[in-house]
Amino acid sequence: VFTYGLLVVMSIERIAIVLGIINALIGLVGLIYFWPLVRNKALLAVAASFILVTLTAVALKSDGWMAALEQRCFRDPIVLSETSPYQHIVLTKRDARVNLYINGHLQFSSVDEHIYHEMLVHVPMSAAVSRKRVLILGGGDGLALREVLRYPDVEQVVLVDLDPVMTRLASTHPDIIALNRASLLDARVSKLTPDGITLGDELVVSRPAALPYDLRDEIRYDLALVNVINVDADLFLRSVRGQHDVVIVDFPDPSTIELAKLYSVGFYKALQRVLAPEGVVAIQSTSPFHARLVYRCIGETLERAGLEILPYHDNVPSFGEWGWHLAWRGGPSAREMRQRLERLEKLGAHTRYLSPELLSAAFSFGKDWLASTSKEIRANTKLRPVILRYYREAWKREHG
């Protein structure tokens, strides 16, 4: 009941109150059933009634104090707090700074999210031979999609995100729309059919008509067909076939068993089935400085899955030093791919931060960041999710 019922429809705080009421009711039923044998009947009856009345009152009047309690966990005022069947989403805002948290972990800050998303998107888009068909796994906030749609030669985008609440917020909440430049405003959420996963109807994502005035002159989306599918990415890869020129993998860090499977050998092998022969993949890979073993584990896992890799990194002030992996199947070696990107004189789309010079520097790491250690780095698999241990060790050490 807790896992498949209560946790799906209400927050942890409210679940605690509901379970308290259930326990009190069980106690009251027991009191009534054993009434002839009970001593101190009046005292127990008053106590049981008081507990039930108090918990019921707390449940009915709890929104205010729960909001105040949650606010103590965040430095900026909360403007949205919503629990979906998959995660708890909090949006905070102070002046022009907007932060998004999932399960208490910062996902982006409007101050510097463009650095993260430009590194995630423009590196593979610059490395790709073709950019016509793009697949985004994760990225339900629409920020990676915003960067993809800057390229006029993109013809089709498929965005796969598990949580429909996240994609709904990205297409309805004004603060997120202002950040993602309405990249999801015209996209329709496709639905699963009994026969499996379909891509649904293709809709044109063009310059939306109903936008805030300050966005109207900035939206320059050429025609692009966009599908948004709310389903588990692992199930999606195992259920569909396609030929995507660029794949953007933007998952949260592998902090749970559910997320760890999205960083596994099996997942990356399934990913290759939807990759065009000369396609490239970019993968969010946590911090190569703060979580070095996790970063190297992702690289080892990609190689075990049969992919060539080129690690790269940059500093995102809200997170510190952050890393990604560029991966592809066959074709050029890592050295040749790096030389190709270092020879770029200009990027194929407008950027706020990334330049050819910064792109070239992103492939250089500190002396020992990628060096061998006394500890063997194992590839992560679904049956042996070693990346979970690496992740917990790294951040436990980081936070003392």
Q: Which residues are catalytic?
A: 250
What is the C-alpha to C-alpha distance for residues 21 and 207, in angstroms, rounded to an integer? 51
What is the C-alpha to C-alpha distance for residues 379 and 264, in angstroms, rounded to an integer? 8
What is the C-alpha to C-alpha distance for residues 391 and 385, in angstroms, rounded to an integer? 11
**Residues recorded for the chain:** 400
Displacement of CA 376 from its chain's centroid (Å)? 28
| End-to-end Cα distance, the chain | 36
- Token reading at 104: 């208490």
Q: Is 120 helix (H, G, I), strand (E, B) or coil?
A: helix
Please list the residues that pair with 204 across neighbouring strands. Answer: 225
Whose CA is closest to 358, among 320, 314, 396, 327? 314
Whose CA is closest to 181, among 227, 228, 141, 231? 141
Residue 393, Cβ density class (10 Å: 0-12 exposed, 13-18 middle, ≥19 buried): middle
Does residue 122 contact residue 347 with C-beta atoms inside 8 Å?
Answer: yes
Task: List the alpha helices (DSSP H) in 3-40.
Answer: 7-9, 12-33
